């Protein structure tokens, strides 16, 4: 795996490139992680996912959105419109880096909703792992864990969520985008989810939705008392099989 920065010097994004350990030049995958504590807990599972994808012949790029992880920017500078642009930049970067012809966007939780809304060029497939189905739904989840901070700010498990961030999240919906890739799979590991609205929105955009239920622990929920999430091996196996 090759850690590096990409993007403009004023907007550096930290990425880890996992080159295919089989034939190259066909398929690449960009992994869009969750954010906040969910992103921290899911890190181990997503790292293993990238390694398994590379072993199966897929070139993989994991990255941190601006204002998160090891990328540049303050925590308060990272907001959904910025992250959508970061996803598009990551897709272009992987295509240049690996010379792949097809790119699959893999998004988990909020990363799934962001991937669906990014409208990135050259993406042929979306794989969304227990995605947040709408920003308003995500806000309700955050509010349940929020404590008040300064200037109408929420603090959710150590991460600040300001008023502008909440407005951006509320506006985040697949219904607001013009196009999505033609092939979308949602992997559900936490039981059935009502996807009727998504099906209708994707149908309007001439995309098809395939849903796969694979029971497994949530990688973004704390496993034990050491901060990391579980590694749902069955889910990872299904994601790798579909992507490669």
Assign 134 a pLDDT band (cuts: 50, 70, 90): very high
Residue 91 lies in a domain: yes
Least confident stretch, 16-25, 44-53, 231-240 = 16-25
Instruction: Indicate whether 163 pLDDT > 70.
Output: yes
Sheet containing strand 208-213, strands side by side: 2-6, 13-18, 59-63, 27-32, 102-108, 123-129, 183-188, 208-213
Residue 162 lies in a domain: no
Residue 36 lies in a domain: yes
pLDDT tens digits, one per residue of 111-126: 999 999 999 988 999 9
**Quick check: 105 and 120 in contact, CB under 8 A?**
yes
Instruction: Indicate whether 8 pLDDT > 70.
Output: yes
The domain that holds 197 is classified in CATH as 3.40.50.1820
Residue 169 lies in a domain: no
pLDDT tens digits, one per residue of 146-159: 887 776 788 888 78
What is the sign, positive or negative, of the torsion defined by CA atoms of 236, 187, 241, 43? negative
- Range of the structural domain that residue 34 is part of: 2-133+178-243
- Measured in residues, the chain has a length of 244
Residue 159 lies in a domain: no
Residue 35 lies in a domain: yes
Which of 86-90, 167-171, 239-243 has maximum average pLDDT? 86-90
pLDDT tens digits, one per residue of 76-125: 888 999 999 999 999 999 999 998 989 999 999 999 999 999 999 889 99
Encode 78-111: b = buried (16+ Cβ within 10 Å), e = exposed. Answer: bbbeebbbbbbbbbbbbbebbebeebbbbbbbbb
Residue 51 lies in a domain: yes
What's this model's pTM, rounded to 2 decimal places? 0.93
Instruction: Indicate whether 3 pLDDT > 60.
Output: yes
Instruction: Indicate whether 225 pLDDT > 60.
Output: no
The strand pair at 13-18 and 59-63 is best described as antiparallel
What is the pLDDT at residue 204?
Answer: 87
- If one counts the domains in the chain, the total is 1
- The position carrying tokens 């091996």 is 233
**Mean pLDDT of the residues in the chain:** 90
Least confident stretch, 7-11, 63-67, 147-151 = 147-151
- DSSP string of 215-228, one letter each residue: ----TTSB-TTSSP
Residue 158 lies in a domain: no
């Amino acid at each position: 795996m090759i850690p590096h920065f990409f993007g403009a010097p004023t907007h550096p994004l930290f990425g880890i490139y996992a080159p295919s350990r089989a034939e190259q030049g066909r398929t690449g995958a960009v992994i869009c992680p969750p954010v906040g504590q969910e992103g921290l807990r899911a890190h181990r599972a997503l790292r293993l996912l990238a390694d398994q994808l590379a072993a199966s012949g897929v070139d993989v790029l994991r990255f941190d959105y601006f204002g998160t992880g090891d990328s540049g920017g303050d925590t308060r500078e990272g907001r959904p419109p910025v992250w959508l642009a970061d996803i598009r930049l990551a897709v272009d970067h992987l295509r240049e880096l690996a010379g792949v012809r097809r790119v699959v966007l893999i998004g988990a939780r909020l990363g799934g909703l962001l991937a669906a809304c990014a409208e990135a060029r050259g993406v042929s497939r979306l794989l969304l792992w227990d995605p947040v189905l709408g920003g308003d739904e995500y806000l309700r989840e955050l509010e349940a864990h929020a404590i008040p901070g300064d200037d109408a700010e929420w603090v959710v498990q150590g991460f600040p969520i300001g008023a502008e961030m909440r407005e951006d999240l509320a506006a985040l919906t697949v219904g607001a985008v013009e196009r999505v890739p033609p092939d979308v799979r949602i992997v559900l590991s936490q039981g059935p989810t009502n996807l009727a609205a998504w099906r209708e929105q994707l149908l309007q955009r001439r995309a098809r939705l395939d849903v796969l239920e694979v029971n497994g622990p949530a990688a973004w929920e704390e496993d034990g008392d050491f901060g990391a999430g579980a590694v749902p091996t069955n889910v990872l196996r299904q994601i790798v099989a579909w992507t490669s």
